[in-house]
Amino acid sequence: MRQFIRHPSSIPIEVHHSEATQQQAANAVNVSLGGLSFVSATAANQGDLIRVRIPGTRPPFETSAQVVWCRGDPPGFELGVTFLDEEDAFRVRMVEQVCQIEQYLQYVKQHEGRELSPEQAAREWIDKFAADFPNGGPESLH
């Protein structure tokens, strides 16, 4: 049974495997308060430590994570990782919320022809969707 609810995500991330010399670009597939899953060109073993970086934030968010599972065959593997720091797990959820608001801003512009400021988009998104977006801080992990 899952401890945390997973939510589909398309947050662009960078991943650095300990054995790799370069970071690789990836997109998160699912995000939860416990960790995330993503597609990688590199397989990993359960228990491996990796670095996850979200370059779209200022400053870029970076944290360590531990591989919980790895599925697939070359050229793509889906990895599930857990965050080593509870506060980092909460921060990633906040980054996901910011990404959702940015997507909403772009959607409204493209499909409704409305120009919103980031603050207006945030207010509208919160009014429409925040109730369905999990809210919980690091203390909710216990």
**Has residue 67 got a pLDDT over 90?**
yes
**How many domains does one find in the chain?**
2
Asked if residue 73 belongs to a domain, the reply is yes
Higher-confidence position of 118 and 81? 81
Q: Could you tell me the pLDDT band of residue 24, with boundaries at 50, 70 and 90? A: confident
* Predicted confidence (pLDDT) per residue in 90-102, tens digit: 777 777 777 778 7
Q: Could you tell me the pLDDT band of residue 9, with boundaries at 50, 70 and 90? A: low
Asked if residue 23 belongs to a domain, the reply is yes
Q: Are residues 72 and 98 in the same domain?
A: no
Q: DSSP letter string over 28-73?
A: EEEE-SSEEEEEESS---TT-EEEEEETTSSSPEEEEEEEEEEEEE
Cβ-contact 97, 133 below 8 angstroms: yes
Q: What is the pLDDT of residue 46?
A: 94
The structure's pTM equals 0.62
Q: Are residues 74 and 95 in the same domain?
A: no
Strands 24-31, 7-8: parallel, antiparallel or unpaired by DSSP?
antiparallel
Q: Could you tell me the pLDDT band of residue 141, with boundaries at 50, 70 and 90? A: very low
Asked if residue 142 belongs to a domain, the reply is no
Dihedral, 88, 93, 99, 102 alpha carbons, nearest 10: -120
* Predicted confidence (pLDDT) per residue in 115-125, tens digit: 988 788 888 88
* Phi–psi pair at 62, nearest 5 degrees: -140, 140
Q: Are residues 64 and 11 in the same domain?
A: yes
Tell me the average pLDDT across 7-27: 69
Higher-confidence position of 103 and 135? 103
Q: Could you tell me the residue range of the domain that residue 110 belongs to? A: 87-133
Q: Are residues 117 and 61 in the same domain?
A: no
Q: What is the pLDDT of residue 136?
A: 40
Asked if residue 51 belongs to a domain, the reply is yes
Higher-confidence position of 5 and 105? 105
Q: Could you tell me the pLDDT band of residue 114, with boundaries at 50, 70 and 90? A: very high
Q: Are residues 47 and 110 in the same domain?
A: no
Asked if residue 61 belongs to a domain, the reply is yes
